Structure 1
Amino acid sequence: MSVGNKIEDIAKWYAVYTYPRHEKKLAKQFEINGIECFCPLNKVEKQWSDRKKVVFVPLFQSYIFVHVKQSEFSKVRNTKGVLNFVYWQGKPAVIQHNEIEIIKSFVAGYTNIEVKSLNDPVPGDIVNFNSGVLLNNTGVISNIYNSYVEVILDKLDIRILARITKSIEDAL
């Protein structure tokens, strides 16, 4: 038997971009359609004025994972609530099985999980000011608050607080 140029169609994990707040609905729809999926849910305690309640919210807003073959892509795309696959270098991004298992273990073992981007600033990061009165100055982030970042400017011997707007790049 000759294999030739036929690409092996084996199931892999992919990230799917969903309509906002459709993650749980989409997971149910995938289940009904026979598509294996994983919608990691974060156990969070919410405080209302009169009570506290534990709720399960999607860990990744507007994302869900599917375990499908390439031949099943159209079935995934045509499911109500799906915007598209998440792409990496022009192809649907393949998520490694061990990464899915790590996420599953993490949500099973922890509550109130906070997801941060690797691009988010952290104390110790060096920042360069690209505009404004501090143009061409460099500082070090010392603290990060809800809507402020504190930067130390050694050359000027000062500590400043800057309001963060959309992203750290916009503020600095």
Structure 2
Amino acid sequence: MNWYVVYVQSKKEKKVAEILQKMQIEVYCPLIKEVKQWSDRKKTIESPLFKSYVFVRLHDKERSNVFDVPGVVRYLFWLGQPAIVRDEEIAIIKKWLEDDTIEEITLHKLLPGDEILIKNGPLKDKKAIIQEVGKKRIRLAIPGLSIIINAKIKDIV
């Protein structure tokens, strides 16, 4: 049995996970708690860590069963094959989310044109504009200093 990544319709992650569970399919939809503020109140809600994705664990021959669930769009593919997530990676996500020393979790995809604030190193507290994002490198423009920086990105895990 392998963990696969299923792409689902926007805002249907929890509902799809619930239905898959009822179908006796092992499913994992990592959730984070967020405080949402409206004009009259604040409310803590659980929202998916990975928007539009849920993980399912099943045998390869059973993969088509997920398409019986409304909201399922397709599997995520990598190099022409359905993307397989290792058990260790799922365990790391679970452990990370259960760690009570982490107060807030956010995911950001770095895109050219985004403005960021450098938090560490010799350029701490300088604003930079992302010019290019590669697999292991990022190019930043720092307008205040009129320089371009090519930086190697550290592995997170």
Deviation for aligned residue 1:126: 7.3
Deviation readout 1:7-49 (Å, 9 max, x if unpaired)? xxxx111110001111000011001111000001011112222
Equivalent residue number for residue 112 of structure 1? 104
Q: 1:18 to 1:153 in 2, by over 3 A?
A: same
CA drift at 1:51 = 2.3
2:80 to 90, 94, 109: 90
Matched, 1:59 2:49: yes
CA-CA distance at 1:96 after TM superposition? 1.1
Question: Where do residues 120-139 of structure 1 align in structure 2 (5 Å cutoff)?
Answer: 123=118, 127=131
Please tell me the residue identity of whatever aligns with 2:41. R
Aligned residues with identical type, % of pairs: 36
Counterpart residue number, 1:6:
none
Aligned 8 A contact 1:36 1:66 in 2: yes
Where do residues 42-57 of structure 1 align in structure 2 (5 Å cutoff)?
A: 42-57=32-47
Q: How does 1:18-37 map to 2 (within 5 A)?
A: 18-37=8-27
Where do 5+ consecutive residues of structure 2 fail to align?
Answer: 119-127, 133-138, 149-157
Q: Distance in 1 between matches of 2:110 and 2:3?
A: 22
* Secondary structure, counterpart of 1:54 in structure 2: strand
- What is the rounded CA distance, in whole Å, between the counterparts of 1:102 and 1:49 in structure 2? 37
**Are positions 1:40 and 2:33 aligned together?**
no
Measure the CA separation in 1 of the matches of 2:144 and 2:79: 35
Structure 1 residue 127: Cα displacement? 3.6
Q: CA deviation at 1:80?
A: 1.6
What's the counterpart of residue 99 of structure 1? Answer: 89
Q: Give the RMSD, CA atoms, in angstroms.
A: 2.6
Asked if 2 retains the 8 angstrom alpha-carbon contact of 1:140 and 1:153, the reply is no
Rounded to whole Å, the distance in 1 between the matches of 2:144 and 2:87 is 40
TM-score under structure 1 length normalisation: 0.65
State the number of aligned residues: 128
Question: What is the CA distance between 1:116 and its match in structure 2?
Answer: 2.2
Q: State the partner residue of 1:153.
A: 146
Decide which structure has the larger Cα Rg and report it: 1
